[in-house]
Each structure stands twice: as C-alpha cells, then as structure tokens.
Amino acid sequence: MPILSAENSFRKGLVALVEGDPAAATCHFQAAILIERQHGVARPQMRYLSYYGLALAQSRGATPEAVQACEAAARRDFYSPELLLNLGRVYLLAGKTTKALATLERGIAIAPNHKAMRAELEKVDRRQIRPISLVPRDHPINKFLGKLRWALRHRAPRFLTGVRTVTPS
C-alpha cells in the first residue's frame, strides 16, 4: 500500500510532467522514492522509479541512470503497460529505436487498447501496413510481398509509377 506523502509527491510529479517541467517532476519522483525508502517499504512502487527515469531523461537527456531506472521498473512489474510506455519513450530519447519498438509492441500485446501506447507506436513505426493483415508481419508470405511491393515502388519503370516524362520535339 502506498504511503500518502509519497503518493502526493508522485502526483505533483505527474502534474509537473504534464505541464512541461521535467526537472521539477524529477525532484518530486525522487522524493517519492526516498520517502518509501525512509519508511522501509517492502515492495516499493515501481511507477515512482519509472516516472523518475522518464522525467530524468526528458530533463537531462537519456542518461544511463534514466534508462536503468525505467528498465529496472519494467523488469520488476513486467505486465504494466504504463511502465513499458515510459521505457519505450526513454529508449526513443536515447536513440534506441529498435528497443523502443520492441518495448512498445510488448506493451500493445499486454494492453491492445492502450491509447497512449498506440499513439507512441504510430509516431515511431515507420513500416507500412502488412500486405496481408490476417498473417503476422514476420510470416514469409508477408515478408515476400513486402519486399516485392518495395521493389516495384523503387525500381519500377516510370510508366508503372505514374510519372510522365515529356520529350522535347
């Protein structure tokens, strides 16, 4: 059960994060973590640690400390879509797009209707829709058709792509 003063500090941190002040949010989240440590909580709230890592990454850049905080929180509560979303955002700030995509996709698998997760994934995902939506993306048929589609778009003669050339006469 969360400690009231730690929870209040956490909520202040969320407000600061929404208002665009990640430095203040970092202080509030850090205070929530310290309050729990002072009270000797047996099972600390991983969301405090996760949001601390996110706010730290937004205020000071994706430092190893920020990445480690979010990774530790997501490892401990691995079924929490909110913690996976924070980890994905920190990976993006760190320039680790592949890890971010994998993390966000894992979050979508856990919570398919999570709007913030879907929005973040749509911002990052540069892939086109699957050629056959009933088959997974990594299925050999979808891989083949995707490569074929790419080849036709990038290597096709001009009359297939709809570009007309006018020859001077």
DSSP the chain: ---HHHHHHHHHHHHHHHTT-HHHHHHHHHHHHHHHHHTT-SS--HHHHHHHHHHHHHHH-S-HHHHHHHHHHHHHTTT-HHHHHHHHHHHHHTT-HHHHHHHHHHHHHH-TT-HHHHHHHHHH--PPPPSSTTS-TTSHHHHHHHHHHHHHHHHS-HHHHT-------
Which pLDDT tens digit goes with each residue over 116-154?
999 998 888 666 788 888 888 889 998 899 888 888 877
Q: Enumerate residues 6+ apart whose C-beta is below 8 A from 100.
A: 88, 89, 91, 92, 124
The CATH architecture of the domain made up of 4-126 is Alpha Horseshoe (1.25)
The one-letter amino acid code at 115 reads K
Instruction: Output 74 or 168, whichever has higher pLDDT.
Output: 74
What is residue 137's predicted lDDT score, i.e. its pLDDT? Answer: 83
Which pLDDT tens digit goes with each residue over 83-115?
999 999 999 999 898 899 999 999 999 999 999
Cα separation, 32 vs 39, in Å, equals 11
List Cβ<8 Å contacts ≥24 apart for 65-71.
66/90, 66/93, 66/94, 67/91, 67/94
The owner of tokens 């929490």 is 80
Which pLDDT tens digit goes with each residue over 12-24?
999 999 999 999 9
**Residue ranges per structural domain of the chain:** 4-126, 127-169
